[in-house]
Structure 1
Amino acid sequence: MSEIRVATVQDAGAIARVHVESWQTTYAGIVPEDYLANLDVVQREASWREWLTFDVDVFVAEVDGEVVGFVGGGAIREPVEGFDAELFAIYLLREAQRRGIGMALLKRLAGSLGERGFGSMVAWVLEDNSSGGFYSRSGGVRVASKEMEVGGVMLPVVAYGWTDLGMIGAGVARGSV
């Protein structure tokens, strides 16, 4: 059973580990190999220590006391018409995927953002990311596209949008995401 809780600065190392490991498994064959190989947990930890002091909502998922995933979001950074909040990141270790933890994290973030007065949300996702189906199953709809530089290469990204935070995950069977 997983537990979802508010992330603290003390979680920075665990979040950084999940962030690096999930990038290396999720984006293999999409993002340049040398970029993935050079991702550094210590550098990410420093970034997360700082990030966790900002006005963002970050939650971690724990299984047996170990952080296996996280989600973060807040006010939209780049305007997308009709949306006021943004899912900045959601990552799970491979062994924690397809157990309902991702959906639980997404719903927790949506609830928190809703409590802060946001009504809708968008997430920018690498188009070739195999997790794209997760966003569709949770109720997200493709609303925009652009290119983003990662590791010196321009990659296509798409925005999935949810016009109503309260509807995220409605009708999704437990364990399917």
Structure 2
Amino acid sequence: MSKWVDRMVGEGYGERMSGIRVATVQDANAIARVHVESWRTTYAGIVPEAYLASLEVEQREGSWREWLGLDVDVFVAEVDGEVVGFVGGGAIREPVEGFDGELFAIYLLREAQRRGIGMALLKRLAGSLKKRRLGSMVAWVLEDNSSGGFYSRSGGVRVASKEMEVGGVMLPVVAYGWNDLRTIGAGVARGSA
């Protein structure tokens, strides 16, 4: 029942095809694996190592099974049938003035990054949120996360900041905002996300 929403040749994957599709409960384990692996590579040196080491795919899988049953939009990116990334979002959870949608999470395995897959996921989520009659979106990101450039290249601008507890420590987070979902990724060269 996998319906391809977008197809592209994944740069760096040779001629192997990748696609983006709606996530199902059957994807919970694959999403959990990407979630844990990407946290360990993306947040090393930012989030306490003990916290990263404590992350377990099985625990995240249970959380994702629940999450996929909620009224949220979740999409996975596949290369040769393997889930290499995901994105999730919906109505904003914590008010940020002028925004009605929220990017809850976007993660890719390290080898899937900088090949256009992240931008394709972001655009797919934006299209889905527009169908929900949402017109704008924010994403809360750890300030020291090196992916801040991805959000900027896709048209996001810093609109708010706060602190968030992760692994027993308070860390600064910033909100990137897109005032108009239709502009996400406009003018971005392929291979930059």
Partner of 2:64: 48
Q: How far 1:63 sits from its partner (Å)?
A: 0.3
> Is 1:36 the counterpart of 2:88 in the alignment?
no
Partner of 1:81: 97
- Structure 2 distance, partners of 1:75, 1:2, is 28
Partner of 2:155: 139
Q: How far 1:69 sits from its partner (Å)?
A: 0.1
**Equivalent residue of 1:128, what SS?**
coil
1:107 to 111, 123, 142: 123
Q: How far 1:2 sits from its partner (Å)?
A: 1.6
Partner of 1:65: 81
Unpaired runs of 5+ residues, structure 2, are 1-16
AA in 1 matched with 2:109: L
Structure 1 runs of 4+ aligned residues shifted over 6 Å read: none
- Structure 1 distance, partners of 2:188, 2:110, is 20
Q: How far 1:176 sits from its partner (Å)?
A: 1.3
1:124 to 110, 133, 140: 140
Normalising by structure 1, report the TM-score.
1.00
Partner of 1:168: 184
1:65-97 CA distances to partner (integer Å, 9 max, x unpaired)?
A: 000000000000000000000000000000000
AA in 1 matched with 2:65: R
- Structure 2 distance, partners of 1:152, 1:89, is 20
Q: How far 1:111 sits from its partner (Å)?
A: 0.2
Unpaired runs of 5+ residues, structure 1, are none
1:94-134 CA distances to partner (integer Å, 9 max, x unpaired)?
A: 00000000000000000000011000000000000000000
AA in 2 matched with 1:78: E
Q: How far 1:147 sits from its partner (Å)?
A: 0.1
Root-mean-square deviation (Å): 0.4
Normalising by structure 2, report the TM-score.
0.91
- Structure 2 distance, partners of 1:77, 1:91, is 19
